[in-house]
Amino acid sequence: NAGPPGPASGGTAVGNGKVLYDGDLRADIDENIDVVSFVRQVYVHGTPMGFATRFDRSPRIPQLLAMLRDSREQQSWGNIVAVLGMIGDRRVAGPLMDFVSQHNTRGKDWEDVRVLTSAMMGLGYLANHTGDRDVLAFLDRARSAQFWADAALAEELAFSASIGLALSGTSQGRQSLLEAYRYEISRRNGAVAENLLGYLELNDEIAREGLRAYYAD
């Protein structure tokens, strides 16, 4: 396996302080780019979700879902799952959860972690748009290391689900994070609890200001 991941598609760094930030600057992207061309780009610092908010309610969902089933588009999967969530259409809930389940296998590498992290974030974006309780319940299960088949990477992947719950900005997501925080405090696991406290604060910020405002310039 390669070393710990840098920025993941979706605008998050995992394995290095769990720092959340936007991806490449908007100035680096053609203002008139279409969503399919957008997801096929390579973004060194992670998918620029501030830019991706403009694809809200895009009609290209069927094409993006087809790309997600096409192994020839594998290099774009991280961007696709994040953007599908940001589009915010209820129809993508099942396909996104299925994508995670199908790729929840042993023998993963750090590139797989990046893609699955993007999927967790995409589910968080989707829950923010729709309040889908099944999506939130899925993220809640995924925040447990026991959910993940690859034990070596399970902790990183569980953290990515917590990021998704934070990005949902929902009360259900907040409750899941609060339960996780209290559990880690009871175990005197201060480092993990500190990360979860940051996710609770992010959930509150998004609930208060909205996802679009969070990613605004």
**Between 185 and 20, the higher pLDDT residue:** 185
Averaged pLDDT, 165-193: 96
pLDDT of residue 49: 83
What is the distance between the alpha carbons of residues 57 and 78, in angstroms, rounded to a whole number? 19
pLDDT-above-70 percentage for the chain: 87
Q: What share of the chain is helix, strand, coil (3-state, %, to 5)?
A: 65, 0, 30
What is the distance between the alpha carbons of residues 209 and 201, in angstroms, rounded to a whole number? 12
Q: Is the dihedral of CA 57, 131, 126, 71 positive or negative?
A: negative
pLDDT of residue 51: 85
Tokens representing 57? 């309610």
- 7-214 fold: Leucine-rich Repeat Variant (1.25.10)
**Between 55 and 178, the higher pLDDT residue:** 178
22 pLDDT band, cuts 50/70/90, is very low
29 pLDDT band, cuts 50/70/90, is confident
CA-nearest of 144, 72, 137, 62 to 95 is 62
What is the distance between the alpha carbons of residues 60 and 12, in angstroms, rounded to a whole number? 25
For residue 188, is pLDDT > 60? yes
pLDDT tens column, 190-205: 999 999 999 999 999 9
What rounded mean pLDDT belongs to the chain? Answer: 87
16 pLDDT band, cuts 50/70/90, is very low
Averaged pLDDT, 79-103: 95
Least confident of 78-87, 159-168, 173-182, 207-216: 207-216
Averaged pLDDT, 161-165: 98
pLDDT of residue 131: 97
124 pLDDT band, cuts 50/70/90, is very high
With 0-12 CB in 10 A as exposed, 13-18 as middle and 19+ as buried, what is 110?
A: middle
For residue 11, is pLDDT > 60? no
Domain extents in the chain: 7-214
With 0-12 CB in 10 A as exposed, 13-18 as middle and 19+ as buried, what is 150?
A: middle
| Cβ 44 vs Cβ 7: under 8 Å | yes
pLDDT of residue 28: 65
pTM of the model: 0.86
What is the distance between the alpha carbons of residues 96 and 121, in angstroms, rounded to a whole number? 11
